Structure 1
């Protein structure tokens, strides 16, 4: 049995346990099978982040921390050999999930307190097209810890590896202000809902 397939099988069993201890919520409601995000509220503890739209993320601000459902994504793309096609497939899954994240934030009981969304990753290709901005952690200890926890995901997601490729990877924050998130994706969610309603009426 290939090593990657064995790791995926083990990870599939461990994932619900890890999800429980990290207190993650899988968003999307009835559409959650189409969503690759799991989230939780967090209190930001890093340095101030000045975003391009004029928003400022400060220490102790309330943020929605996003986690990709990595095991599901890796299952979907494991048969894709081309690095470019694999990257495009992951991008489409994340893009499709963004309106559901916008809806989650818009309807959250603490929506007035939420300042934005934040995630951390080693896989950051195409994120600016989705509306994210990049920021880099300053703490060496934190970066080392995140590299250790993110590295298995990076290895499984990569189609080819080299020492140069590994050394070039950096841990990066992905950040977006709430207002930008909602304005960019909420309209897309409303459009999807309208299409669903039309399809349901057509079937009746």
Structure 2
């Protein structure tokens, strides 16, 4: 059953990508190499958050919303039987993709207006080491609406998912300011397309 659901998701993913107006970030010197992120420039709609570097994200600020390419991660880690090596794989993919995101942000037409990056995740461990600030989602209904897709992802990616495990992993906002992203991850060769 899992294989059928993954196959269907793989078929439907390009439609999701198109309808949500996401973009890929490509490696500057390897045009066939994509970042694990799919991104979209948005006007932030939530409550005000102050990040650890004192950057404040307000309602209507421009941010780049990052989405992990979940079906790709599920396919890439399908043969890994233990959740710890899977988590390490995801961590490394995110770590490899952040310099590409920094390059993208640095060369974006609206660089000056963009305040930072944000996402929503249930993989909270390791986010701080990557430079993200984590915040609870203050809107209960929105939080539970986000739980539904995360439960599906967890069911498809875990070897032996349990209901209690699904409920323990609460989604959280992650943010990183533009300055922190650029100072931590910018490289000289970043010219993504």
Partner of 2:24: 26
Cα 1:32–1:153, aligned 2, differ >3 Å: closer, same or farther? farther
TM-score normalised by the chain length of structure 2:
0.92
Larger strand percent: 2
State the aligned residue count: 188
Residue 13 of structure 1 is matched in structure 2 by: 11
Q: Matches of 2:61 and 2:103 in 1, distance apart?
A: 20
TM-score where L is the length of structure 1 = 0.87
> Counterpart in 2 of 1:103?
103
After TM superposition, list the pairs within 5 Å mapping 1:82-121 onto structure 2: 82-121=82-121
Once residues 114 and 134 of structure 1 are traced to their aligned partners in structure 2, the CA distance between those partners, rounded to angstroms, is 19
Deviation at 1:119, TM superposition (A): 0.4
Q: CA RMSD in A?
A: 1.5
**Partner of 2:143 in structure 1?**
143
Distance 2:12 2:26 in 1: 22
**Superposed CA offset, 1:137-188 (max 9, x none):** 111111111111222112222233223212211011110000000110003x
The higher relative CO (CA closer than 8 Å, separation ≥ 6) is in 2
Aligned to 1:71: 71
- Name the structure where helix makes up a greater proportion of residues: 1
The unaligned stretches of length 5 or more in structure 2 are none
- Provide the residue aligned with 2:181 in structure 1: 181
CA distance in 2, matches of 1:90, 1:5: 20
Q: Is the 8 A contact 2:37 2:68 kept in 1?
A: yes
